[in-house]
Amino acid sequence: MLKQLGFAALLGGTLVMTPAMAQQTSGDPFIKQQEINQWRASKLVGVAVMGADQKKIGKIEDVLVDHDGNAQTIVISVGGFLGIGSKDVAVPFKTMKWQTEGRTVAAGPPAASTTGGAPATVKTDPAATEANQGYPDVAMLDMTKAQLQSAPDFQYAPDPAAHSALGQSDRGALTPAPNPASTRND
């Protein structure tokens, strides 16, 4: 749980850092409010990934960022049932298309009429809805579930401590560490 919380804090900070730096004009080092074009990184994990055929093909398992704070890779969990038998595949962050629908909400008190009147409704701006909830509704990917299932398994970076314990000095001898998503203590 702490690992996941730490990831969320790191990713959240990196996703908001670049736009946030642009809004700092008074020399104040603090950000006071989320901008409408920012997502909460912790909320991206679990977002459904829809394929070219408009069917669910997986869900976001992880987002990898580079040292400059740029989101680079989306790790998608594909297949399985309740996390059993699933596999992780990765695609570049830029290949994803994000979609959020506006919501229909009441726009005030009920309209006066003899039938009791229904409240007037208005459709919200999708960008405002997305900012309020902190994440897009779905991620779209121009692939099918079969294509993702046949993609190579994604491997997280190997554990350097395990490598050192084995006394290996050749970087080429590194073996991938277990997938942290499958060893989490949630």
> Residue 110 — very low, low, confident or very high, per pLDDT cuts 50/70/90?
low
- Mean pLDDT, residues 65-77 taken together: 94
pTM of the model: 0.66
Q: Where are the domains of the chain?
A: 2-24+31-100+134-154
Model confidence at 182: pLDDT above 60: no
Average pLDDT in the chain = 78
Q: What is the pLDDT of residues 13-48, one digit of tens each?
A: 555 454 544 555 567 899 899 888 888 888 999 999
2-24+31-100+134-154 CATH choice from 3.40.50.1820, 2.30.30.240, 3.40.50.20, 2.40.50.100: 2.30.30.240
Q: Using the predicted structure, report yes or no on whether residue 177 has a pLDDT greater than 70.
A: no
Q: What local confidence, expressed as pLDDT, does residue 112 receive?
A: 54
Predicted confidence at residue 1, as pLDDT, reads 47
pLDDT-wise least confident of 58-72, 133-147, 165-179: 165-179
pLDDT band at 2 (very low <50, low <70, confident <90, very high): very low
Q: In a 10 Å sphere around its CB, with 0-12 CB exposed, 13-18 middle and 19+ buried, how is residue 135 labelled? A: buried
Query: Does residue 100 register a pLDDT over 50?
Result: yes
pLDDT band at 105 (very low <50, low <70, confident <90, very high): confident
* Nearest CA among 60, 67, 68 for reference residue 91: 60
- CB-neighbour burial class of residue 62 (10 A; exposed 0-12, middle 13-18, buried 19+): buried
Structure confidence at residue 107 (pLDDT) = 78
